[in-house]
Structure 1
Amino acid sequence: MKAWSYFLLLFFMIVSCSGNSNSQNLTWYNNSVISNIEKDPEKPEEFERVSIGISAQVFYISKKSSDYKTIMEKASLSFQKSKAFNIGIEKNTNIIRQINEIK
């Protein structure tokens, strides 16, 4: 019985520590609408500046990201049509890494 308990403990520790590290590095703003999109005045060739919500928190979309086109399409839809999305912001950088449909 003791061996079985240790096995289960080990199993739960492995399962709880595994997962997608990318999603753990994101802060999510759920049911959010983008209130403004403009070129970043400091680095217009690298970033788009995005404001989220009424309080106008400022985040960025990197033009060098492999998902730039997809993220910009969803951001533009949110801005133009006031469509809400779940928006994933990379911690410590304020860069938008994911924009997902609300389920």
Structure 2
Amino acid sequence: MKALSYLLLLFFMIASCSGNSSSQNLTWYNNSTITNIIEDPDKPEDFARVSIGISAQVFYISKKSTDYKTIMKKANQSFKKSKSFNIGIENKTNIIRQINEVK
């Protein structure tokens, strides 16, 4: 039984370390719709506050990001037209880094 536990532990360690580094350490919300976009009340010059889905989880779009216009365009499409996207959230920051078309 101990040997099986060690094998499982080894498997999980290998699986967790074999991630794709080009994903920028993102958590993906697939087939999601943005339900609200407002200026962040704490830092309106830096961020837009975005709510995703029925549970209204709050994330941010950085206005200083090089992809700000592209991300905001897709976010507005999702919000105004209820269009679903795959949304990539940077881990530990809650900042939206990618919004991709659903395939």
What band does the TM-score fall into relative to the shorter chain? Answer: 0.7 to 0.9
TM superposition score normalised by structure 2: 0.80
Q: What does 1:1-103 align with in structure 2 at a 5 Å threshold?
A: 17=18, 19=20, 21-103=21-103
Deviation at 1:57, TM superposition (A): 0.0
Distance 1:18 1:89, change over 3 A: closer
CA distance in 2, matches of 1:36, 1:87: 14
Distance 1:67 1:24, change over 3 A: closer
Runs (5+) with no aligned partner, structure 1: 1-15
Deviation at 1:24, TM superposition (A): 5.0
TM superposition score normalised by structure 1: 0.80
Q: Which entry has the higher C-alpha Rg, 1 or 2?
A: 1
Tell me how many residue pairs correspond in the alignment: 88
Structure 1: which 4+ aligned runs deviate by more than 3 Å? Answer: 16-19
Deviation at 1:22, TM superposition (A): 3.6
Residues 68-98 of structure 1: CA distance to partner in whole angstroms, max 9, x if unpaired? 0000000000000000000000000000000
Distance 1:79 1:22, change over 3 A: same
Q: Among the aligned pairs, what percent are the same residue?
A: 76
